[in-house]
Amino acid sequence: MRFFAFSKNGWKKYFLLPVLSMLSAGTSVSGASADWNEKTIRDNLQLVAEWQAKHPKKRSPLHWTYGAFYSGLVQYGLSVPEGPGLPLLRKAGEEQGWKTLNRHYHADDHAVGHAWMEMAMEDGNPAAAEKIRAVLDKVMNRPSSASLQFLTPGCQDRWSWSDALFMSPPVFVKLAAYTGDRRYLEFMDREYKLTCDYLFDREEGLFFRDSRYFTVPAANGKKMFWSRGNGWVIAGLPLILQDMPADWPSRPFYEDLLKRLAAALKKCQSPDGSWHASLLDPDEPPLKEMSGTLFIMYGMLWGVNQGYLDADEYLPSICKAWKAACDAVSKEGALGWVQPIADKPGHYSGKDTEVYGAGAYLMAGSELRKYVIDRDHPQKKTVTVTNPLGRFRPAETVSVPWPSGGSGDAAGLRVFDVRHGRVIPHQLADTDGDGTTDTLLFQSNFRPGTVRDFWILENSCLGEAPSADVCFSRPVPERLDDFAWENDLTAHRIYGPAVARPAPEGEGLVSSGTDVWSKRAGTPVINEFYKRGDYHRDHGRGLDMYNVGPGRGCGGIAVFRDGKPHVSGNWASARTLYNGPVQTAFEVVYAPWDIGGGVRVAETRRVTLDAGNRFSKVRSVLNVRGAETVKAGVGMDTGKRRNDYEAVMEDRESGGLMTAWSRPRKDDGCLGTAVIVPWVPEGRAVDAEGCTYLLRKVANGEPFEWYMGAVWDKASPIRSAAGWEAEARRVRECIGHPLQVRVR
């Protein structure tokens, strides 16, 4: 009878192979069904995530093992936002200050950056990215030149072991996506290819764990390839490819590596559905090993879902792997048969659990859930969205024509974000006001140069996305005919007929300028402010500290004749077109006003404000009588008389842009305002009220667009005039390069 021997911590143990085989089969009752059913998979994910969160290891939450767990937790959390994943991550990140451990060059200590960067982009939280960015900037700007030969001085300052290709490269790619700085991609490319050239065995199509194993064979005399070591590599490739620009020159290298590695690993799968610790010697030991199995399954299934790998060829292997994994989950949610921390095949049992094993389960299960949802909706439509810019675009709205023959049934309609694996809020809107739904609206974040798919699912049984009508507008007759609108970040109002009346019926205020309300993010304020009445003081949710007067405020228009501005009175009529979780739209009409020379002008203005945006889009149409064209100006307050600006910037080179930033106002902070015009101004003007205008010629009935926005430094990561100018320039660039949308 043959014996198996291995060495660990300087001592040896010997086991009879038949005994090990019985151990691998296991006798405990599984708590995770292997059925390919969306709800079953979602329940399994929650079971494993919650068990692992309740049974922490006695090590730093920033340790690489937790980094791998967070990688799975963030994928689960993004796919099931109502589950425990995202709250657990936010809690961990905030408690640890979004930092890393202190070995700044060591790839293991970068692993938490996977989740930190995802949360920075998901939550719009730059603090989650700051510290990992500082660490990787140091690595990139002062790169190590140490040898990749393992155990030589400084070798672990480079990616000299296969695990490192999971731990660090995806974080560089995510930083490139977040910042738009291609240097992160260039550094990652160079270092990754050097490691691949060094550790990849082209004959077997597998990775050595590190250079020590070039000459150390497995017990059966074959080359020693560790399953988890190869699992790290194939699981890291999706994390790289999903955020790498579609046109990145070396992208085919990573796609080809995924295919080659998957093909080689498929040959190594054991009959029990798992990948044993030693890929070419499955009797070393003859035990199923779940961390390697699940990382490999994740990489393969992602390849199938993305069309890189043939489904007919790989799904049988994936099905067996998932069955083996679910059999290893206890009824309480503990994933067993996970080899402890190691660098080669070694001993473990059904009672061994590890946080990275749970992370691998969450990654594989989240990817499987996407496959099942795809399978269950054969009639779905796919919306492919391309970001043509080399910058990150948060909270961008996608507009898709909704055919007149569409069901319009919001109860059964779902929009599914394929990357994140989740149903997202959507809105059906009548954008042309004819009484018929014509547009489907939804939002997402878009990374530089990436191509994203969204599925339109009708009559779906998937749960609705949690949502609220955060985009809201309404007339306010109880406050002298104001009209107010807001989203989760900003709020505004304009003035109606009643306030123009002399006191005591009104206030004698004649103004078509726009007011700004400073509000805390995520807090609806319109109804509360008007109910309270006292909104010029901050009671915890924000305040009105902006002064409009008869000027343009945060944005408005004037019509110029002989160099003089002529402005309308207060709005004559106003109506909300729709509210919702993605966008609010309303229309206001300004009655005709004289501009001299027998010419009269009226304005119809349509305004939209999207969730997660600080800028309202305005479409103005002038009805001109007495002339074929007029010179119109889009303006905002830039003087110091009303709002005491510390800095004012104007740029007319790439479409007009003006920003202003106020001085601090006691305890109420600073306010920034801006106007953007997506056309090249023909000139500029300044009026006696301290407003600056960007000018253009407009014909009767010709629509023209402009944008107005505001920010409050006490409720935003934008804390300076320079920061506000940068944000306004970013928005202008996005306006000039819209998302490319294709429906099939």
> Are residues 192 and 326 located together in one domain of the fold?
yes
**What's the pLDDT at 410?**
65
Which residue type sits at 418?
V
Q: Who contacts 121 (Cβ-Cβ below 8 Å, separation ≥6)?
A: 174, 177, 178, 392, 394, 445, 447
Task: Give tens-digit pLDDT for 706-724.
Answer: 999 999 999 999 999 999 9
Per-residue pLDDT tens over the stretch 147-168: 999 999 999 999 999 999 999 9
Yes or no: say if 464 and 426 are a contact pair by the CB < 8 Å rule.
no
- pLDDT number for residue 16: 32
Task: Say if residue 314 is in the same domain as residue 414.
Answer: no
Q: Are residues 364 and 387 in the same domain?
A: no
Q: Does 683 fall in a domain?
A: yes
Q: Are 243 and 173 in contact (CB under 8 A)?
A: yes
Residues 431, 480, single domain; the answer is: no
Q: How far is CA 483 from CA 153, 214, 672, in A?
A: 69, 73, 22
User: Which residue in 427, 421, 391 sits closest to 610, CA to CA?
Assistant: 427
605 burial type by CB count under 10 A (0-12 exposed, 13-18 middle, 19+ buried): buried
* DSSP-H helix ranges across 343-401: 355-376
Rounded to whole angstroms, the Cα distance separating 723 from 572 reads 37
Q: Which residue has the tokens 């030991």?
A: 285
**Does residue 541 belong to any structural domain of this protein?**
yes
What is the SS3 assignment for 670? coil
Run of H or E residues at 416: strand 414-417
> Domain range for residue 422?
381-457
What percentage of the chain reaches a pLDDT higher than 90? Answer: 92
Query: Where a domain ends, among 376, 401, 424?
Result: 376
Mean pLDDT over residues 281-303, rounded?
Answer: 97
pLDDT band per the 50, 70, 90 thresholds, residue 640: confident
Query: What SS3 class is residue 40?
Result: helix
Last residue of one domain, picked from the residues 429, 457, 485: 457
Average pLDDT (464-471) is 90
Can you give the CATH number for the domain in which 220 is found?
Answer: 1.50.10.10
Q: Are residues 570 and 491 in the same domain?
A: yes
Measured CA to CA, the distance from residue 40 to residue 48 in angstroms comes to: 12
Residue 27 has pLDDT above 70, yes or no: no
Copy the structure tokens of residue 528. 């509360």
CA nearest 398: which of 444, 430, 429? 444
φ, ψ (nearest 5 deg) of residue 591:
-65, 155
Q: What is the pLDDT of residues 30-41, one digit of tens each?
A: 779 999 999 999
Give the integer Cα–Cα distance in Å for 93 and 96: 5
Taking residue 654's Cβ as centre, other Cβ atoms within 10 Å add up to 12
**Cβ-contact 268, 275 below 8 angstroms:** yes
pTM check: above 0.75:
yes
pLDDT of residue 4: 32
CA distance 739 to 742: 10
Give the full edge-to-edge strand order of the sheet including 564-566.
564-566, 556-561, 629-637, 691-699, 683-686
Helices 113-123 and 85-95 pack at an angle, to 10 degrees, of 110
Examine the pLDDT at 557 and tell me if it is beyond 80. yes
Q: Residue 466: its pLDDT value, please?
A: 85
- When pLDDT is averaged across residues 420-435 and rounded to a whole number, the result is 94
| 401: β partners | 439
Residue with tokens 């936010």: 90
CA 642 – CA 634 distance, rounded (Å): 19
519: closest CA among 541, 538, 497?
Answer: 541
| DSSP conformation letters of 449-486 | T-EEEEEEESS--SPPPP----BEEEEEGGGTTEEEEE
CA 26 to chain CA centroid, nearest Å: 41
Are 525 and 515 within 8 A, CB to CB?
Answer: no
Domain count along the chain: 3
CATH code of 445's domain: 2.60.40.1180
The length of the chain, given as a count of residues: 744
Indicate whether 739 belongs to any domain. Answer: yes
Q: Let me know: does 282 contact 226? Beta carbons within 8 Å.
A: no
User: What integer best gives the mean pLDDT of the chain?
Assistant: 94
**The pLDDT value given to residue 104:** 97
What would the 3-class secondary structure string for 506-539 be?
Answer: CCCCCCCCEEEEEECCCCCCHHHHHHHCCCCCCC
**21 with 169, same domain?**
yes
Flag whether 30 is in a domain. no
Compute CA distances 354 → 49, 229, 360, 586, whole Å.
12, 16, 10, 54
How many secondary structure helices (H) and strands (E) does the chain include? 18, 32
Average pLDDT on 514-541 reads: 94
Helix, coil or strand: residue 221: coil
Are residue 409 and residue 520 in the same domain, yes or no?
Answer: no
Tell me the C-alpha distance between 5 and 15, whole Å: 7
Residue 409 in this model has a pLDDT that exceeds 70? no
pLDDT, tens only, 353-366: 999 999 999 999 99
pLDDT at position 523 is 87
Neighbours of 246 (CB within 10 A): 11
Query: Is 366 among the domain residues?
Result: yes
Alpha-carbon 633 to chain mean position:
36
| Residue 235: per-residue pLDDT | 98
The answer to whether position 700 is within a domain reads: yes
Q: Distance (Å, rounded) from C-alpha 166 to C-alpha 115?
A: 13
**What are phi and psi for residue 596, nearest 5 degrees?**
95, 160
Q: Does the pLDDT at position 404 exceed 60?
A: no
Same domain for 723 and 668, yes or no, is yes
- From first CA to last CA, the distance across the chain in angstroms is 62
Question: End of a domain among 358, 376, 394?
Answer: 376
Closest CA to 712 of 520, 535, 554: 520
Give residue 653's pLDDT. Answer: 83
Q: Which range among 22-31, 38-47, 406-415 shows the weakest confidence by mean pLDDT?
A: 22-31
Over residues 209-219, the mean pLDDT reads 97
Same domain for 343 and 412?
A: no
Q: What is the per-residue pLDDT for 29?
A: 57
With residue 612 as reference, give the H or E element that holds it.
none
- Tell me: pLDDT of 102 over 50: yes
406, pLDDT greater than 70:
no
Residue type, 47: L
pLDDT confidence of residue 433 = 87
Q: What is the pLDDT of residue 18?
A: 36
Residue 101 tokens read as 């451990």
| Angle at 383 (CA atoms; ends 382, 385), nearest 5 degrees | 140
> Within this chain, do residues 194 and 262 fall inside the same structural domain, yes or no?
yes
Whole-angstrom CA distances from 727 to 130, 224, 477, 489, 608 are 17, 52, 35, 14, 19
Identify the residue whose tokens are 């842009």.
Answer: 657
Alpha-carbon span 400 to 425, nearest angstrom: 14
CATH code assigned at 647? 2.70.98
| Residue at 41 is within a domain | no
Would residue 213 count as lying in a domain? yes
- Stretch 340-345: mean pLDDT: 97
DSSP code of 29? Answer: P
Domain identity same for 439 and 487: no
For residue 666, the model assigns a pLDDT of 87
State whether 59 and 116 are in the same domain.
Answer: yes
pLDDT tens, position by position, 230-274: 999 999 999 999 999 999 999 999 999 999 999 999 999 999 999
Residue 566 forms beta bridges with which residues? 559
Give residue 24's pLDDT. 38
Q: What is the pLDDT of residues 473-483, one digit of tens each?
A: 999 999 999 99
Q: Which residues are catalytic, by number?
A: 163
- Report residue 26's pLDDT band, with 50, 70 and 90 as the boundaries: very low
Per-residue confidence band for 52, with pLDDT thresholds at 50, 70 and 90 = very high
